[in-house]
Structure 1
Amino acid sequence: MSDDARAGFAAEFDVSRETLAKLDRYAELLTEWQQRMNLIGPSTLPHIWDRHFRDSAQLLAIAGTGKSWLDIGAGGGFPGLVLGILDPESDITLVESITKKCRFLDTVAHETDTAAHVTVANVRIEAMATRKFDIITARAAASLDTLFDWGLRFAGSGTRWILPKGARVQEELATAAQRFHFDHELIPSRTDSDARIVVAKGVKRR
C-alpha cells in the first residue's frame, strides 16, 4: 500500500491525524476480511487509498458536511463508511442485503468510533422502511434508472442524488430519461478520467 497515496489523500482532503488513523484501521480490516469474502476487486487491494478512499471522499466536497446519506448496496463501505469517518456530523445509513458484508461494516464502524452516526441496515432496499434523506448515493450497485426506482421513496423535494458512474454514463442517463424526469449535472471524477459523478435532483417518474 502506497505511503505516497496515503499522504496525498491526507493533504487533498485536509484530514486530521486522528481521522487518518481511523482510515488506517479501515484499510487493515478491509485487507484482513478480503481474504474471507469479496469486498472489493482483488486487483484494487494495493490501491485502497486512491481507488476506494479518495474515490469516496470526493463526494463530500459536492454534498457538504452534516448531511443525512442513504448508501444503497454499501458492500465494502464505499462511499458511505468513508464519508462517515470523514464527517462526524453526518448521519449515514448503509443498506446491504448480504449479512456477512454487514458484519464487516459493523466491525469497521465500531473500530473507527463512527457507529454513533453510521447505521448498517441488513435489508434489501425494497424492504427498508421509508424515510427521507438529504443525499442518496450508490457505487457500482445498479444502473441509474434502477437506482432512481429503488431510491425515489427516500427522496424529498430537496434531496440530491450523488452517483459515481463510469464511461457509460451517457447511455445510463438516456435510459433513465425514458422513465424519469430529472435535472442533473456531471462532475469529473478525481480518480478516473473516464468517470463522472452524476448529481441529480427533482427526480420524478414520467
Structure 2
Amino acid sequence: MIDHVHDLASVHDATERLLLAVGTLDNAAVTKASRLPGWTRGHVLAHLARNADALVNVLEGRPMYVSGAAREADIERDAARPLDVQLADLRETAARVQRVGAAPADWSRTVELRGGVTDRAARVPFRRWAEVELHHVDLDVGYELEDLPAEFTEREIGFLAARFDGHRDVPTTRLTTAGGRTWTTGGGAAGDPVEVGGPAAALLGWLAGRRDGSGLTVTSGTLPSLPPL
C-alpha cells in the first residue's frame, strides 16, 4: 500500500542528507563531473531543483514540463550557478514539494508525467524520493548505493522491475537479493528464463543503469542488456 505521507517524510530526510553533503563542497567542486555522462554536479543539482518544480506542476494539475527542450534548457541554464545559489534553490523547491504534499487532495487520482506516462498521485512522492536518493549517488560525494535506506532500495527494485515487466527486449528474469526477496521482470523477449541474484544494492544499480551488473551472479542464462530508463 502506498503511503504518501510516509514517502513525503522520507523525501524530506533524503533531501536533508543531500543538502548536508553538498554543503561541504565549494564552487569549484560543483563544476566537476558527476557520474552521469556529460553532466557536472551542477547539472545534477539543477535537475533536482527543476524536477521538484515539475512534480509540483504534476500535483497541481499542470503539465510536468513545458517541453523536453525547455527542460534541458533550464538545466543547462542553472548548472553553472555558484554553490550558495544551488543550495538555496534546492531548499526552496524541496519546501514547495512538502507544502503541496501537505495540502488536502485526492491522492487516488491519476496524474500525468513526462511522455504521457500516468500514475496515481500517491506515488509521486516516492518518485521524488527516487530522484533525490539516486542523484545523491550520482553526485559522487561519498554516498553510495549501499548507503541507501533498505526500504527505499527494495521498493525501487520493485518499481524498476515493474517498469521492465513485459518489455520486448528483456527475457523473463527472476531477481533475488541476498536476503531472499524476489521479483520477476521482462518476459517480452524470446529465450529461457534468467536467474539473477546478488546484494540489493547491486541489483538496484543494474536496474537503474548505475552499474554494469558485474556484482551480480547469473545462475541461469545470460544477464540481459536493459534498455535505458
TM-score scaled by length of structure 2: 0.28
Greater percentage in strand: 1
Greater percentage in helix: 2
TM-score scaled by length of structure 1: 0.30
